[in-house]
Chain A
């Protein structure tokens, strides 16, 4: 029978990756000085399963590599060895290596050989204290012209479910009926009255009268070797050999005494032997290039609620359909009711569909324990990682894109933020630094914080550096908060020396740009001596935006609702003129700059001075600005369409959407408007920026 093993490959890969995750997380949690048996067992089991599966499904490189990993684990598990920190490192490297090999093989490629070989050598050094010696298994090459087997079971043989007759049947299958003579020895059989049928008191003498390797015969009895006296003797000559003239015994159990020459009682067993089919060559799995499609796991709850909602949508649709068949104005109220229900259904359906893309942020956080540990070792800093809000959900696409910036921030915090142990102790802090990753929802945003309890940003150093590089004018008088934000400027790096960890040329400006590309923002809060916190704000999803529609001249623009602080009507008199056409307004206890959209986009030939202004106060990049619009329209959720993909990037605009009446409305990019305040000093008239 041939079974196509490749049908199990996908399951094998999935379970192996899961196994590796288990190994990794257990290894990371483990304190080498105080190893708990269950932890080692769990790690061992995972490795063991991978090895077993890999062997079975024909992934030999994986099975061979896992073998050494498993051997060391086994020695630790059985107490022959004590877990060492360097073992943990080695195991972790092996986990990485296996992961690489598995994904190579999953894609149908040859796995790399060098790294596994290196790691294997390290394992062998630990295991044998030296490089591996290829140990050839001694193969039993002995071939007699036949064999005499004396089998004397211990009384308890049957208790393990073994049955001599089945073994004889197997033997006959192997050597052939005509070459096998079996005699039973009943001399040990007790009196019938004292016979315990659960015990075996028979012994056998089997003559195999054919040339056959001993190993082939031994297979039959391998399971009972320890439950009987078993002696193999070569037969001198197939034709003439008799038990009396046998050559020295090849004894497996050293205990060859007590074997009596049996009297012939029974002949071969009655059963007709079947010729066992020659085992077919192992089914070679056809090489399939199984392209891995990106997929997400969705909880049944979410799917159920979707189905539920679609059901309601169908009901509404049929109701509206019926209404339309013979419609007259008297039923207008009904129609409106139906339409509002349709709107609600659509919104709920949309929310549910969006939820499907939502995944807990633990997917992004899960790589950090490892990263922090490895980096800590590399930097010689002891660092604890605390993760909070791991269940906070985030759009899958956003999650994928935020992963790299997060890694960069964590690396940065560990390298520059946290002090060395000596410095920490000198500052009266705990020896171990702490990095905290925290995620939570705030309004329509998700906030991710990367905090360290290190030295905090050094304002003087930052300012000095920024001035050296000409990023800020020498005369600038900046508040500490403003200085902190300087680290996000392009071409800024405070690292005294470019280290291996951070400072690879990828600066905080890149991090900020990546986050801004996601419609997000990043800021830093820092306090000297107690640490810094990087705060990332991201929209929950990239596809939909809660928008405030505003009118400026003839055009409709959309402000992201999340960035709106308030909308107020003000009189012209409350504006203060600063320079050129730049106005500020006192809003309670702060002054905010005023921007006119019609001016920026050059919508009007001459900006009229209206007495009553509609002002939308927005917050972007941690700064409030007031944007003058003509009128506030409704609020609605809009589907974001990329302007860049369909047209070209326009400064001040983050995207576009299509409104209910089919017209296109542009979505205002608040932060870029905010950044443009200074350059927009003069009234520009109809400029090339016209939208």
Chain B
């Protein structure tokens, strides 16, 4: 996220170690840190692997399956975000099969929600929209399910639109692991799975919510946003979460505001409620 020139580049892997694990990534021999994930390695080397549920600063979930990679000798497609490197591992981050796989996943996400970019608050700054562009989803080859979820606008500062929720659980993890409030959970299973607040209450009635707004900053789509946000106005701030996690760990780096923060005008009437 940060574009500030911080010399030398701090290793995203275990901080004390040196890269000494020989790995082949897309045909090139590279050195990884012990315990580094394939995703962290790829990012460190500038190799793009698409992700959705992964969020720097919170635990690994491995729910979206977009970061699947091919590993020589492995029958299944492991997740880059949840697979640690091992010596002599041969990883392929892209192939026709992987591209096809990722495109299907994104198309299925569109099929099971009601994602109408034209009127969505997140249009133009939406990770799902970006993934569709990246993976070439220009139409959805599956039957659209048109789920009918009601919008929860009961919170004084924020809105939850479950039609746009991709069940990535970023909000669940941020609220639990960083804020410590654990307002969010996933109820039910499979196609009935849905994000719930508290004991499946209207969000505005959940006493444990501190109105900190971290869930809103972390949401990759237009499912969580500030009250009063008009179409195309939502500006998420996922980098905030990594910053807070580092700050809590005592690694305090001033934050370069290359990350987009919610413009005051677009934040709705109660933005002062946001206290990260």
Are A and B associated in one complex?
no
Q: Which residues on A are within 8 Å of B, measured CB to CB? A: none
